[in-house]
A and B are shown apart, each in its own frame.
Chain A
């Protein structure tokens, strides 16, 4: 066997071109002839080296191609040779000139800084005024929720200056409404869906959360056991809610959902609610699907549609706990929910009796 046929056989063997028969024959030859076996191993090594060589040359070629396409000028520093240092003498005249120039430069820059700072300050005050104006707007919008009954030219037999909504929180005549509804009131009347009116007096006010608790003082008033509770947990974003209020003389139903866990300006004691709200809805209860009270409608944002705010029921609960116990013992406002399984129509029918129109005279 000469060298050529041997190398051909090795190549065909390694490249897998041999038939099964040839293969077994060649392997037998490898076994019996150590010289052949050594040649095979050497050949394997050579091919491996060649492959690696090939890979690397190919890689190098690719890199050179990339290298050639690089814009080297961009990464080069602008000048690589340091400029020769020049020595020159500084004359007295030059010094005075330079000093004068430096002074002018200093004055200019200082005055520029002063001007800029002044301008900046003016700008911030302007922004601040802006914010305040927005706040005023909201204030106005909240006030606007108080229904101006006079302007509607109502029957003189039923005179009232402002109106809002309130709802019972106890069996014995305690009612919650908004503080802004009864603020500055001479006298307050509560009117139910049947048209019966009762005199009431404010017993507790919390200006910061805009809540007021009224007590019906009329002896003719007869309480009923409440079918709902004040929900102690926070309602979740997206939870469906509904409300009953008196934007007109008749009770009106509206529904929507909790849109955010904080109220106007990030007020954590309130929710942002997407629900139709009109002047007169102030103090209306916000109920969840079970009929439990989750909040009290207080106002809406005038600048955009569909944004209303409601104080959280948890906050109301906290207020009730703070109240003197002799006025309103806990058992009076802690009830069991009896609306859970009912349809919305039945829930509303039951709830109507506990939601009142609040009329304020001053």
Chain B
């Protein structure tokens, strides 16, 4: 009974995450990070290692939640643990992680979730490409695009911020930026 209630609560939290509810995110983060941190530290990892590992697992959870088809069958904690284990393994294999895999990370990730990780890796790849492309963009393009696509500001606000006389001008600037981004991105993407 208690177990079910826990799952119900976790499902609520997950729904909150889907709705971009900051409080749900904070709850999941603060409740689950300490145990991952403790485990990484136990295996002589650093705080940064733990943060990277956990945040990547959280991103996977978030992407899955965003897709809207994710139904939670185990506790969030179990899911996050399992994902962390897989990421840990991956990092070991690619050699950019020196920590031995702890036994306590049980192999509880179903095959479907293994797909999730493969999917995530592809997305991660694309993300890195976009990140690199964005970093090579000059100003004001970088800020305009970030304002529009990350901070979700309206073109009106962006026009005001950058001193354009109207949003039409700002839009023209955005088109130019997009043109440049498109060129750079597909160069990277295809290589």
**Cα–Cα, bound, A57→B66 (Å):** 15
| A63–B186 CB distance below 8 A | no
Contact with B along A62-88 (1 / 0, CB 8 A): 110011001010111100100000000
B72 smallest CB distance to A (angstroms)? 19
Contacts of B15 in A (CB 8 A): none
Within 8 A of B (CB), among A206-231: none
A interface, how many residues as a size bin?
A: 20 to 34
Tell me which residues across on chain A come within 8 A of B102, comparing CB atoms.
none
CB distance from B140 to the nearest CB of A (A): 16
Query: Which of A3, A7, A50, A70 is close to B149, meaning CB atoms less than 8 Å apart?
Result: A50
Closest residue of chain A to B128 (Cβ to Cβ) is A53
Which of A51, A58, A80 has the largest number of chain B CB atoms within 10 A? A58
Is A11 in contact with B41, judged by CB distance below 8 angstroms?
no
| Complex Cα spacing A80 to B45, Å | 11
In chain B, positions 142-168 with a C-beta closer than 8 Å to chain A are 145-146, 149-152
Q: Is A56 interfacial (CB 8 A cutoff)? A: yes
Name B18-58 residues within 8 Å CB distance of A: 22, 25-26, 29-30, 33-34, 37-38, 41-42, 47, 51, 55, 58
Contacts of A42-57 to chain B: CB distance below 8 A:
42-43, 46, 49-57
Tell me if A60 counts as interface (CB < 8 A to partner B).
yes
How many residues from B make CB contacts under 8 Å with A? 42
Quote the shortest CB–CB distance from B74 to chain A (angstroms).
Answer: 22
Is the beta-carbon distance between A46 and B181 smaller than 8 angstroms? yes
Is B178 part of the contact surface with A, judged by Cβ < 8 Å? Answer: yes
Q: Do A7 and B175 form a contact, CB below 8 Å, given A51-B149, A56-B59, A62-B22?
A: yes
B90 at the interface (CB under 8 A from A): no
A63 CB to closest chain B CB (Å) equals 5
User: Known: A7-B178, A7-B179. Is A63-B130 also a contact (CB below 8 A)?
Assistant: no
Is B131 among interface residues, defined by CB-CB distance under 8 A?
A: yes
A49→B185 contact, CB < 8 A? yes
Cβ contacts B104-140/A at 8 Å (1 or 0 each):
0000000000000000000100110111001000000
Chosen A-B contacts, 24 in total, with CB atoms closer than 8 Å, are: A3-B179, A4-B175, A4-B179, A7-B178, A8-B171, A11-B171, A46-B185, A46-B186, A49-B185, A50-B149, A53-B131, A53-B149, A53-B150, A54-B146, A56-B62, A59-B58, A60-B55, A63-B29, A66-B29, A66-B30, A67-B33, A70-B30, A76-B37, A77-B42
Q: Main SS of chain B's interface residues?
A: helix
The answer to whether B149 touches A54, judged by C-beta atoms less than 8 angstroms apart, is yes
B126 in contact with A52 (CB, 8 Å): yes
Chain A residues whose CB sits within 8 angstroms of the CB of B127 once the complex forms: 52-53, 56
Residue of B nearest to A9 (CB): B175
Q: Is A11 a contact of B126 with CB atoms below 8 Å?
A: no
Q: How far is the CA of A222 from the CA of B17 in the complex (A)?
A: 86
Please indicate the chain A residues that have their CB under 8 angstroms from the CB of B151 in the complex.
Answer: 58
Q: Chain A residues with Cβ under 8 A from B123's Cβ? A: 52
Q: Which 4 A-B pairs have the closest CB atoms?
A: A75-B34, A54-B149, A54-B150, A53-B130
| Contact pick for A59, options B51, B59, B131, CB 8 Å | B59
CB atoms of B176 and A43 under 8 A apart: no
Shortest distance between the CB of B155 and any CB in chain A (Å)? 10
- B172 touching A8, Cβ below 8 Å: yes
Tell me if B66 and A72 are in contact (CB < 8 A): no
**Cβ–Cβ < 8 Å partners of B171 in chain A:** 8, 11
